[in-house]
Amino acid sequence: MTSAGQLRHATIVQGMNRMPGLLKLGSFLALLFLPALAMAAGGAEIQAMSVEYRDVPGIGSRNLVWVVAQQHLLLAGFVLGVPIFAWICELVGWKTKEQRYDKLAKEFTKLLTSAYATTALFGGILLFLLIGLYPKLMAYLTDMFFPSFLVYCLLFLLETATLYMYWYGWDYMQGNKKTFHLFLGFLLNLFALGIMIVPNSWATFQASPVVVGEGDAWARAWMAMQNPTWWPVNIHRLIANVVLGGFIVGAYAGVRYLLAVSREEREHYDWMGYVGNFIGVFGMLPLPFAGYWLMREVYQYNQQMGITLMGGFLAWLFILQAMLIGVLFLGANYYFWLGITHRIPGSEGQYKKPVMGMLIVLLLCLGVWMTPHSLVASLAEAQKMGGTHHPLLGVFGVMSAKMTVSNIMILVTFMSFIMYWRAGKQETAGWAKAAKAIMGALLVIAGIAVVVLGVWGYFVPAIIRINYFSVAQVLIVLFIMVTFTPLTALLMKSAKTTTEMVWGKMPIRAGYSLVLNAVMVILLMSLMGYARSSSRVHWHIYGVMRDTSDYAYSPALGYAAAFMSLNTFVFCLIVAFIFWVATLGDKAKAQPPKGSPVDIPGHTAPAMAGGAPSSGEKLE
Amino acid sequence: MKGPIISGAIILAGMFIFLKFLLPLVTAPLPASLIYLYLALVLSGILIYGTMSASSLEAMMGPVFRFLSGKGQTGASQMARLAVLVMFPLLVGWQTYSRLVPSDLPPAENRTIHPAPPGEFVGLSNPYPKTPENIMMGKGLYAAYCSPCHGANYDGKGPAAPGFNPPPANFSDPGTIAQLQEAYLFWRIKKGGVGLPVEGMPWKSAMPRWEDELPEEFIWKIIMGEYDGAHQTPRTWEEEE
């Protein structure tokens, strides 16, 4: 602080001694924040003395920030996504009085508490790196957003305190106190939402800055926060965090399942893997819609940025995205289908044909989604095609086709789940036949309508397609989901179970597919995070503050892809380490006393090493 | 080896024949990158379906494991196994070599067709009203300046088109000008191939820099005539009344 600032401070302290209590408290808070505000105000002099950039030898400042920011964001995504479904799971357990849901919710929260400190650690490292390596940018952002920094700190304190109470009070707050514990879970999610949306505003301001008018620091920060991509990113990230959390939890359960040696463990982690996959899939279904909205806002904000992303040099990332989402859809459906085949004995033959049909539709859709508008072709191939657009398959390269197939893939995945839900049960309601016929007819009509709108989209102006046809496609799919779910629930309520579902009998490849899904979603978030950030090209703040560092260029796509892979690998290592540490206690508890025999024969080896729930039985 | 392995191999081979030889009978040949992509999808489908249950997994992978393990093999099957174990690494080596060996052929490119326009061209709108006279004038200018390459039918098949590789854009394809705003076309016509940014190099465009020849009014009217002639509408954020 400057000497003038110190003098001002001393005068205020003297004045406080003559104030009444409440005013004193208010003044104390103001005093607490005043030095920082004074620093921000006097930033110009300090800035003049300081350097604009610092570099890190070897790796380079940009790459270092890239890795640390990505780790922080992925960890934060997990930490903010898990409380949502942990709380829902606890709520279900409380409502249904089924203890297993409460146990599962507690296990989710255990993973959350383990990852929380590491997330904060990476956040701190990122902050120090940004202040040290990009002082000019940080000075600008601090000047613009300082009041929101204070809100963020407050939210962080509240979140941490609530998490402590939520986790450590779990066993204590049972019975009559459960409702309070649920309220804590609600608060945890509320603060988590705040923790996510406040920094989102800083990042989205960098991509889509707005003109900030006159006003005090709070008003200016609020104006800057309300930039065009803030809420689309908030919604997109909120859903993506649930997906990330679901699939990581699924992967955790998959690994624990592969390592399980007792029947009880296998059953529990098989079920946990199913829940994780279910959460991931259900989050994934609305995600393309949120992504579509975000891209629409980007285009509307700045056509140049939109074209860089979806038509320019970053457009190839969207083809990679299609591949990764495709693998994710296939992986998630594969897990559902394995569940039908292995958890419901005798159902293999019954569902063979529908599974094949769904697989073919998914692959056809994926083929369309992955087909680029401009194909990778040699000169000779391009000459034969008459350019880099294929005359026939080139039509798959535009948004009308992509929207259509993504909607159909969502429909198929939803139907996979419905099929799983109904497997092994016989409807007894008198109206079951009629309901099933209506559902079948609706599904066919919906599928046809989505395709017709997709084809029609080629013959209308883009704005009609974007504003009406694409929205109609989304609404059709949502209509199917919101009508089929309660209808199936009603049907299942009175249904007779013909074959009891058996947990713990999944083959080992089911565990691996859960891990694959988690890796895909991490890679996907690294990829699209890079795309969003890179769309600013050579600007720190788009159109406002130019990047004048040595790194004011976009890396080649291959180089960027290698970094995304590195980030994914490092994140997997971190998560594996955290979970390993978190479960050390469980392992110690699970160890039988020295000299005592293993309780069940045949349970001496984990599934991945060929062990099985009962002797003579082998998991393929 | 029979059953799912043979069926899978037949499906893969059938798909390859369809994409490589049959489809080009009705349309242009597909680039190798796309054929590999579709074959990879088919292969993943075969593997997913084949590993769905214990019995299907055994039917598909059992013979492979038994063949590769060499248990109880004698005579011809033993020789076949040895041949596979020798040939497979050689095949991988040959593939790697042929990919990396220096060649005088240009590599396959992931060309960026629509690079972002410079800031000064973003948000421009056609200053001339869409009247029949203006459209007619635009079509006339198009016929004089653009149709030799882009074709009288706006399909990229003008008399000069065969001389260019890649060929001129086909405006009647809904994947070209219908995806773009008028301002984008204005930039591309005005600055031509030499005005393209470094983003997504290498560029191969013989489009002339028309700002040297035509006033801006002509360019805007050509755009108008181009959309009308190709039966396309420009991308806008406002719906036409």
Could you please report the per-residue DSSP string of B140-165?
HHIIIIIHHHH-TTSSS--TTGGG-S
Q: CA A103 to CA A238: how far, in whole Å? A: 25
All residues at 6 or more sequence positions from A160 whose CB lies less than 8 Å from its CB, including other chains: A116
A56-60, A112-116, A331-335, A352-356: which has the minimum mean pLDDT? A112-116
A348 interaction partners in chain B (CB closer than 8 Å): 52-53, 55
Determine contact, residues B222/B189, Cβ cutoff 8 Å. Answer: yes
- Say if the Cβ atoms of A355 and B165 lie within 8 Å: no
Single-letter residue type at B193 = G
CB spacing of A302 vs B122 below 8 angstroms? yes
- B-chain residues near A387 (CB < 8 A): 156, 166-167, 169-170
Give A593's DSSP letter: P
Contact in structure between B57 and A618 (CB atoms under 8 Å): no
Domains of chain B by residue range: 4-100, 119-229
Q: Least CA distance to A299: which residue of chain B?
A: B237
Are the CB atoms for A206 and A144 separated by under 8 Å? Answer: no
| Contact at CB, A463 and B238, closer than 8 angstroms | yes
Give percent above pLDDT 90 in chain B: 53
Which chain B residues are within 8 Å of A311, Cβ to Cβ? 112-116, 179
| Set of chain B residues whose Cβ sits within 8 Å of the Cβ of A386 | 28, 156, 167, 170
Window 392-421 of A: residues touching B by CB (8 A cutoff) are 392-395, 397-398
- Chain B residues in contact with A308 (beta carbon < 8 A): 115-116, 199
Beta-ladder partners of B44: none
Q: CATH fold of B119-229, please?
A: Cytochrome Bc1 Complex; Chain D, domain 2 (1.10.760)
Nearest beta carbon to residue A307 from set B26, B114, B169: B114
Interchain contact, A307 vs B184, CB within 8 Å:
yes
Say yes or no: A250 contacts chain B, CB-CB below 8 A.
Answer: no
Structure tokens at A260: 């399980």
pLDDT over 70 (residue A618):
no
User: Residue A136: how many CB atoms within 10 A of its CB?
Assistant: 17
Q: Which amino acid is at A285?
A: L
**Residue-level pLDDT at A619:** 56
- Of the pLDDT bands very low, low, confident and very high (cuts 50, 70, 90), residue A13 is very low
* CB contact (8 A) between residue B28 and residue A307: no
Give dist(CA A291, CA A317) in Å, integer: 14
Asked if residue A16 has pLDDT above 70, the reply is: no
Neighbours of A52 (CB within 10 A): 12
User: Cβ of A370 and B123 within 8 Å?
Assistant: no
* Chosen from A298, A361, A376, A513 to mutate, greatest number of chain B CBs within 10 A: A376
Whole-angstrom Cα distance, residue A407 to residue A391? 25
Model confidence at A440: pLDDT above 80: yes
From the list A294, A260, A279, the residue with the least C-alpha distance to A86 is: A279
pLDDT score of A608: 52
A595 Rama class: left (phi>0) / alpha (psi -120 to 50) / beta: left
| Contact residues, A window 292-321, toward B, CB-based 8 Å cutoff | 300, 302-305, 307-308, 311-313, 315-316
Rounded to an integer, what distance in angstroms lies between the CA atom of residue A441 and that of residue A283?
A: 26
For residue B112, list chain A residues with Cβ-Cβ distance below 8 A: 311-313, 315-316, 374
Domain boundaries, chain A: 3-41
Residue A458 sits at the chain B interface (C-beta within 8 Å)? yes
Does B60 score more than 80 pLDDT?
yes
The C-alpha of B76 sits at a distance from chain A's nearest C-alpha, in angstroms, of: 30
Q: A476-509 b/e with 16+ CB inside 10 Å = b? A: bbeebbeebeebbeebeeebeeeeebebbbbbbb
Q: Which of A380-389, B125-134, B173-182 has the lowest mean pLDDT?
A: A380-389
Q: Which residues lie closer than 8 Å to A323 by C-beta, 6 or more apart?
A: A370
In this structure, what token pair is assigned to residue B209? Answer: 């820099």
pLDDT at B46 over 90: yes
Residue of A nearest to B33 (CA): A376
User: Residue A620: its chain B contacts at CB < 8 A?
Assistant: 54, 57-58
Q: Which pLDDT score is estimated for B154?
A: 94
CA distance A37 to A33: 6
Confidence of residue A606 (pLDDT cuts 50, 70, 90): low
Q: From the CA of A560, how many Å to the nearest CA of chain B?
A: 14
Residue range A273-326, pLDDT digits in tens = 999 999 999 888 888 889 888 988 998 888 888 888 887 888 889 889 989 999
Q: Which of B114, B125, B130, B240 to mutate to test the interface with A (most CBs of A within 10 A)?
A: B114
CA gap A281, A412 in Å, rounded: 12
Which among A334, A367, A509 has the least Cβ separation from residue B38? A367
Q: What is the pLDDT of residues B83-107, one digit of tens each?
A: 999 999 999 999 999 888 888 877 7
Residues 6+ apart with CB under 8 A from A256: A265, A269, A272, A583
Residue range A75-94: mean pLDDT, rounded: 92
A130 pLDDT exceeds 70? yes
CA-based nearest residue to A333, from A267, A264, A418, A251 = A418
Do A272 and A253 touch, CB atoms closer than 8 A?
yes
Place of tokens 């394995």: A338
So what's the pLDDT on residue A347? 79
Neighbours of A438 (CB within 10 A): 13
A276 neighbors A116 (Cβ within 8 angstroms): no
According to DSSP H, which parts of A285-398 are helical? 287-301, 303-310, 315-343, 352-370, 379-385
Instruction: Establish how many alpha carbons lie within 13 A of residue A342's alpha carbon, considering only the half-sphere containing its beta carbon.
Output: 29
Chains A, B: CB contacts within 8 A come to 189
Sort out which chain B residues have CB atoms less than 8 A from A352's CB and list them. Answer: 52
Name residues whose C-beta falls within 8 Å of residue A43's C-beta, 6 or more positions apart in sequence.
A139, A142, A143
Range in A180-184, A429-433, A454-458 with the lowest mean pLDDT: A429-433
3-state SS of A412-432 is HHHHHHHHHHHCCEECCCCCH
Please state, in angstroms and rounded to a whole number, the distance separating the CA atoms of residues A118 and A561: 25
For residue B227, the chain A residue with the least C-alpha distance is: A461
What integer pLDDT is reported at residue A601 of this predicted model?
40
Q: Where are the alpha helices (DSSP H) in chain B?
A: 4-17, 23-26, 32-50, 54-69, 75-100, 132-141, 147-150, 182-191, 216-229
Give the mean model confidence (pLDDT) for residues A550-565: 91
Comparing alpha-carbon positions, the chain B residue that sits nearest to A468 is B239
Query: Using H for helix, E for strand and C for coil, what is the string for A134-200?
Result: CHHHHHHHHHHHHHHHHHHHHHHHHHHHHHHHHHHCCCCCCHHHHHHHHHHHHHHHHHHHHHHHHHH
**One-letter amino acid identity for B12?**
L
> For the residues A90-113, what does the mean pLDDT come to?
89
- What phi-psi label fits residue B151: left (phi over 0), alpha (psi between -120 and 50 degrees) or beta? left
Mean pLDDT of A82-89: 91
- Span A398-421, mean pLDDT? 91
Q: Hey, CA dihedral for A302, A307, A308, A314, is it positive or negative?
A: positive
Residue A619: Cβ-neighbour burial (10 angstroms; 0-12, 13-18, 19+): buried
Contact flag A371-B34 (C-beta cutoff 8 Å) = yes
A9 pLDDT band, cuts 50/70/90, is very low
Q: Across residues A463-479, what is the average pLDDT?
A: 90
Best B113, B155, B165 residue to mutate vs chain A (most A CBs within 10 Å): B113
Indicate the pLDDT class of residue A508, thresholds 50, 70 and 90: very high
Question: Which position has the token pair 């998490």?
Answer: A163
Position of tokens 């041949």? Answer: B83
- Tens-place pLDDT, residues A536-554: 988 999 989 999 999 998 8
Structure confidence by residue, pLDDT tens digits, B119-165: 788 778 899 999 999 999 999 999 999 999 999 999 999 999 988 87
What is the nearest CA distance from A515 to chain B, expressed in angstroms? Answer: 16
For residue range A325-357, what is the model confidence (pLDDT) as tens digits? Answer: 999 999 999 999 999 999 988 777 888 899 999
Closest Cα partner for B177 from B240, B225, B133?
B225
* Contact between residue B221 and residue B141 where contact means Cβ atoms under 8 Å apart: yes
- Please state, rounded to an integer, the average pLDDT across all residues of chain B: 88
Q: Where are the beta strands (DSSP E) in A452-570?
A: 496-497, 539-541, 545-546
From residue B99, give the alpha-carbon distance in Å to each of B29, B35, B37, B93, B234: 21, 17, 17, 10, 42
Residues of chain A with C-beta less than 8 angstroms from the C-beta of B113: 311, 373-374, 388-389
DSSP code string of A447-477: HHHHHHHHHHGGGS-HHHIIIIIHHHHHHHH
Question: Residue A309's pLDDT is what?
Answer: 87
Query: Considering only CB atoms, which chain A residues are within 8 Å of B51?
Result: 509
Segments of A444-570 assigned E as strands: 496-497, 539-541, 545-546
Question: What's the average model confidence in pLDDT over A195-224?
Answer: 93
- Asked if B55 contacts B28 with a C-beta cutoff of 8 angstroms, the reply is no
Distance between B111 CA and the closest CA of chain A, angstroms: 7
Across A227-238, average pLDDT: 95
pLDDT at A594 (0 to 100)? 55
What pLDDT does B194 receive? Answer: 85
Find the closest chain A residue to B26 by CA distance: A392
Phi-psi category of B92—alpha, beta or left, where left has phi over 0 and alpha has psi -120 to 50? alpha
Report the distance separating Cα A535 and Cα A546, nearest Å. 13
Is residue A467 within 8 angstroms of chain B, CB to CB?
yes
Predicted pLDDT of residue A51: 85
> What tokens were used for A542?
């788009």
